[in-house]
């Protein structure tokens, strides 16, 4: 059993704590949150230790590995401290809102053999992974075009959005990573469009966008389109399509159940889409823990590394630059 401590007891930290607690090959050694109320609640509920300080986690001999789900500005620092303490890390995205800080972090730990994994959980979704498998197995031939649709069921609170770093760094970042995973080749250009339809005033105020489309191309000319919106009234819209020389693979949306209604003025009406990410990606979050546990147990390289986290931030920054300047951006421009 791998003993994992969780840093951060917000919604997602709590979910990870529970998943670790129930995992057949992991145990939750304890939790930490700068807000002691939050950590106490989780610790009590799951019957595990509550750490007073983050440093206690890194120093504890009872901790084999750490999961970082604290606020974004703490991520890079915690990663560096975990590596120094030789604790394998599973860190929630993004590494940092700043590409520079993410790169400093990458430099700081370069060469370490401590497993570091970034929490791009969607790679572990069985549907999305089946699309990737259809490419790897050769079933759909060489991939030419990828379309990722990712729309939230509703816009987050203003306070969250103000701190989010913008839609590309906060939301699309999952899709940038997924795009690289599905495509299997690095992107070189990004051309993005942004609009303010859901919360125009706040978006204007923050210089942010709530409705964006990003088109990326690889060196060999493969094309990927990402469509994002902060609000899809029909639920959490999560689809991936890969078109290739020998076929197409599509990961469709999931509903809570598969009942359909037929009546005098419609047919096949189903329930709204699963809402929200904790429900939609519940299987993915559990599989993500399993992949991390494997990596810790066998000392192998995690399937999503720090470099993947840096690359996703880079694409997010390129997309933001593209929208702001109304032009196609070459990734190379960002150094």
Contact pattern from residue 202 through residue 241 relative to a copy of itself, giving x for each residue in contact according to CB under 8 A and a dash for the rest: ---------xxx-x-x--xxxx-x-x-x-xxxxx-x----
Instruction: Pick between residue 98 and residue 283 the one whose CB is nearest to a copy of itself.
Output: 283
Instruction: Pick between residue 227 and residue 316 the one whose CB is nearest to a copy of itself.
Output: 227
Q: How far is the CB of 25 from a copy of itself (least distance, A)?
A: 13
Does 249 participate in binding a copy of itself (rule CB under 8 A)? yes
Please select the residue that binds a copy of itself; options are 85, 104, 108, 130, rule is CB under 8 A: 130
CB atoms closer than 10 angstroms to residue 231: 15
Q: How far is the CB of 314 from a copy of itself (least distance, A)?
A: 19
244 secondary structure, DSSP code: E
Q: Which residues pair with 211 in a beta bridge?
A: 195, 229
Residue from 73, 82, 92 nearest 34 by CA? 73
Please select the residue that binds a copy of itself; options are 35, 59, 71, 245, rule is CB under 8 A: 245
Instruction: Pick between residue 43 and residue 97 the one whose CB is nearest to a copy of itself.
Output: 43
Q: How far apart are CA 264 and CA 266, in angstroms?
A: 6
Please select the residue that binds a copy of itself; options are 1, 270, 278, 324, rule is CB under 8 A: 270
17 CB-side CA count, 13 A: 30
Q: How far apart are CA 283 and CA 126, in angstroms?
A: 8
Q: Binding to a copy of itself (CB under 8 A): which residues in 37-56?
A: none
Q: How far apart are CA 211 and CA 323, in angstroms?
A: 11
**With CB under 8 A as the contact rule, which of the stretches 32-40, 105-113, 177-185, 249-257 interacts with a copy of itself?**
249-257
Please select the residue that binds a copy of itself; options are 73, 138, 299, 326, rule is CB under 8 A: 326
Are the beta carbons of 95 and 79 closer than 8 angstroms?
yes
Q: How far apart are CA 2 and CA 55, in angstroms?
A: 19
CB atoms closer than 10 angstroms to residue 121: 26
Q: How far is the CB of 261 from a copy of itself (least distance, A)?
A: 5
Please select the residue that binds a copy of itself; options are 11, 269, 301, 324, rule is CB under 8 A: 269
Residue from 334, 277, 311 nearest 12 by CA? 277
Q: How far is the CB of 196 from a copy of itself (least distance, A)?
A: 7
Contact pattern from residue 91 through residue 120 relative to a copy of itself, giving x for each residue in contact according to CB under 8 A and a dash for the rest: ------------------------------
**With CB under 8 A as the contact rule, which of the stretches 56-64, 99-107, 132-140, 155-163 interacts with a copy of itself?**
132-140
Contact pattern from residue 136 through residue 165 relative to a copy of itself, giving x for each residue in contact according to CB under 8 A and a dash for the rest: ---xxxx-xx-x-x-x--------------
Q: In what order do the strands lie in the sheet with 26-32?
A: 49-50, 26-32, 2-7, 65-68, 89-92, 116-119
Q: How far apart are CA 146 and CA 225, in angstroms?
A: 6
Peptide bond just before 115 cis, omega within 30 deg: no
Are the beta carbons of 172 and 320 closer than 8 angstroms?
no
Instruction: Pick between residue 118 and residue 273 the one whose CB is nearest to a copy of itself.
Output: 273
Q: Binding to a copy of itself (CB under 8 A): which residues in 58-87?
A: none
Q: Binding to a copy of itself (CB under 8 A): which residues in 166-195?
A: 189, 191, 193-195
Residue from 128, 189, 148, 193 nearest 167 by CA? 193
């Amino acid at each position: 059993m791998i003993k994992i401590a969780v840093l951060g007891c917000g919604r997602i930290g709590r979910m990870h704590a529970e998943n670790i607690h129930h995992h057949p090959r992991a145990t939750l050694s304890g939790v930490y949150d700068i807000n002691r109320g939050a950590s106490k609640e989780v610790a009590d509920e799951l019957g595990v230790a509550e750490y007073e300080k983050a440093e206690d986690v890194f120093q504890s001999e009872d901790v084999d590995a750490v999961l970082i789900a604290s606020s974004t500005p703490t991520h890079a620092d915690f990663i560096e401290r975990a590596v120094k303490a030789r604790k394998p890390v599973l860190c929630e995205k993004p590494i940092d809102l700043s590409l520079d800080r993410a790169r400093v972090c990458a430099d700081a730990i370069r060469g370490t053999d401590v497993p570091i994994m970034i929490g791009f959980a969607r790679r572990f979704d069985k549907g999305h992974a089946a699309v990737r498998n259809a490419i790897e197995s050769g079933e759909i031939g060489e991939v030419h075009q990828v379309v990722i649709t990712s729309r939230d069921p509703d816009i987050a609170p203003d306070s969250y959005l103000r701190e989010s770093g913008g839609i590309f760094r906060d939301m699309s970042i999952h899709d940038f990573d997924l795009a690289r995973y599905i495509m299997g080749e690095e992107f070189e250009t990004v051309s993005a469009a942004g609009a303010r339809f859901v919360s125009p005033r706040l978006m204007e105020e923050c210089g942010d966008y709530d409705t964006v489309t990003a088109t990326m191309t690889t060196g060999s000319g493969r094309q990927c389109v990402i469509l994002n919106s902060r609000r899809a009234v029909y639920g959490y819209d999560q689809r991936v399509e890969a078109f290739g020389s020998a076929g197409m693979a599509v990961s469709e949306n999931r509903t809570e159940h598969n009942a359909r209604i037929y009546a005098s003025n419609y047919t096949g009406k189903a329930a709204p889409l699963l809402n929200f990410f904790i429900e939609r990606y519940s299987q993915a979050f559990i599989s993500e823990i399993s992949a991390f546990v494997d990596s810790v147990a066998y000392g192998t390289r995690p399937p999503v590394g720090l470099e993947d986290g840096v690359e996703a931030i880079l694409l997010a920054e390129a997309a933001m630059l593209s929208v702001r300047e109304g032009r196609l951006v070459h990734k190379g421009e960002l150094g």
